[in-house]
Amino acid sequence: MSLPDRLLPVAVGVALLGAWQGLASALPPFLMAGPLEVGAAMADHAPTLLTAAGTTGTAALAGLGIATLAGLLLGALFTASRTAERALYPYALLVQTVPVIAIAPLLVVWLDYGWWVSTVSAAIVSFFPLLTGAHVGLRATDPDQLALLRLYGASPLQQLRLLRLPAALPHILAGLRTAGGLSVIGAVVGDFVGSNGQPPSLGFVVLKAAASADVARSFAAVVVSAILALALFGLTRALEAHTIGAWHGDRSR
């Protein structure tokens, strides 16, 4: 890529920041804070924001882990038994349609203030892409490759281990990529209701700052949430590259 090509997104970024600052200057401070203000707020509240990012990030990761496990197990079950699939699939679908923000207050009552509400919230939101990835992936086996294994008398367990699971990895990891960003959203939504600030979480900071018309701080927490989501996304990409990068993906030969 030539230098002008590399600079293109940077130029767009600078232009956007400029427009944002301009808009913020024109509007009353309680409606919008510009990038300079938000940057200042981030610097001023860095320790709190870092702690909050840690809290929310941990919840997102834990939720992602739970969702991955559940998605894989259920996906494997659905592949192994059509009956189980027909019986349980509608309920798996239901999990995706549950509006997390509506059940979060209930979660607080069941699970108490703390980290669990955000974790469960993140898990609920991440579950379906992972189930789909596992479900589609385990079914996406090449029929010739399967015939090959059957020819040599491979048991169902051998088929799973030697063929189905490795073949499913690209789909599962694609689901993980989607779920990664979602898990942060889920954790922040869980924070809104399930966090009382001790320890601080990103959702808590967003809400509380907004209530005091401290828009700059609220935005700052939002920016940190976005960075967290990007970080998780990057993590899933790294995982992909590490596990299947050698044999899967774009390749110009």
Partner 1 sequence: MSAPPVRFRQVRFSWPDAEAPLLDAFDLTVHPGQVTAIVGPSGCGKSTLLKLAAGLLPASAGHIEAGSDHPGSRAYVFQAPTLLPWRTVADNVGLPLDICSPAAPDRTRRVETALAQVELADAAHKLPHQLSGGMQMRASLARALVTRPTLLLLDEPFSALDAATRRRVQQVFARAWTHAGATVLIVTHDIDEAVLLADRVVAVGGQPLTVRHDLTVPLPHPRSPALRHDPALGALVQQVEAVL
Partner 2 sequence: MTRSSTVLALLSVVALTSGCSGNTSADSTRIPIRLVLNWYPEPEFGGFYEGVLGDHYKDAGFDVTIVPGGPGAPSLELLGSGKAQVAITSADDLLVKRLKGVKALGVWAAFQHSPQGLMVHADSPITDITQVPTIENARVAIEVGRPFHQYLWNEHGWEGKVEAVPYGGSVGPFLTDPTTIQQAYVTSEPCIADAKGAPARFLSARDTGWNPYGTVVAVADPAPPWTEDFVKATAHAWKAYLRSPDHANTEIIAQNDQLNVGLIGCITELQRAYVTGDDGLGAMTKARWEHTAANLVKLELLPEGVRAEGAWVDVLEPEPDQ
CA distances from 135 to 98, 131, 190, 197, 248 (A): 20, 6, 27, 38, 19
110 binds partner 2 (CB under 8 A): yes
Q: State in angstroms the smallest separation of the CB of 211 from partner 2.
A: 4
In whole angstroms, what is the distance from residue 178 CA to residue 156 CA?
A: 30
187 binds partner 2 (CB under 8 A): no
Task: Choose the binding region for partner 1 from 6-14, 28-36, 124-132, 154-162 (rule: CB under 8 A).
Answer: 154-162
DSSP annotation of 30 reads T
Q: Which of 13, 18, 105, 249 binds partner 2 (CB under 8 A)?
A: 105
Q: State in angstroms the smallest separation of the CB of 21 from partner 2.
A: 20
DSSP H helices, the chain, are: 3-26, 35-44, 46-80, 82-97, 100-111, 115-139, 143-151, 156-159, 165-194, 202-211, 215-244
248 binds partner 1 (CB under 8 A): yes
- Cβ nearer to partner 1, comparing 103 with 146: 146
Q: State in angstroms the smallest separation of the CB of 250 from partner 1.
A: 11
Task: Choose the binding region for partner 2 from 81-89, 160-168, 181-189, 196-204 (rule: CB under 8 A).
Answer: 196-204
- Residue of 85, 60, 27 lying closest to 235 (CA atoms): 60
Task: Choose the binding region for partner 1 from 32-40, 77-85, 198-206, 240-248 (rule: CB under 8 A).
Answer: 240-248
- Cβ nearer to partner 1, comparing 44 with 142: 142
Q: Which does 165 bind (CB under 5 to 8 A by kind): partner 2, partner 1, none?
A: none
In whole angstroms, what is the distance from residue 143 CA to residue 125 CA?
A: 33
19 binds partner 2 (CB under 8 A): no
Q: Which does 244 bind (CB under 5 to 8 A by kind): partner 1, partner 2, none?
A: partner 1
In whole angstroms, what is the distance from residue 41 CA to residue 224 CA?
A: 11
Contact at 8 Å (CB) between 61 and 183? yes
Q: Which of 3, 10, 246, 252 binds partner 1 (CB under 8 A)?
A: 246
In whole angstroms, what is the distance from residue 182 CA to residue 232 CA?
A: 10
162 binds partner 1 (CB under 8 A): yes
154 binds partner 1 (CB under 8 A): yes
| Residue 107: exposure state from Cβ atoms within 10 A (0-12, 13-18, ≥19) | buried
Coil vs helix vs strand at 160:
helix
Residues contributing to the site for partner 1 (CB under 8 A): 142, 144-145, 147-154, 158, 162-163, 166-167, 169, 244, 246-248, 251, 253
Residues contributing to the site for partner 2 (CB under 8 A): 28, 30-31, 48, 105, 108-110, 112-113, 193, 196-198, 204, 207-215
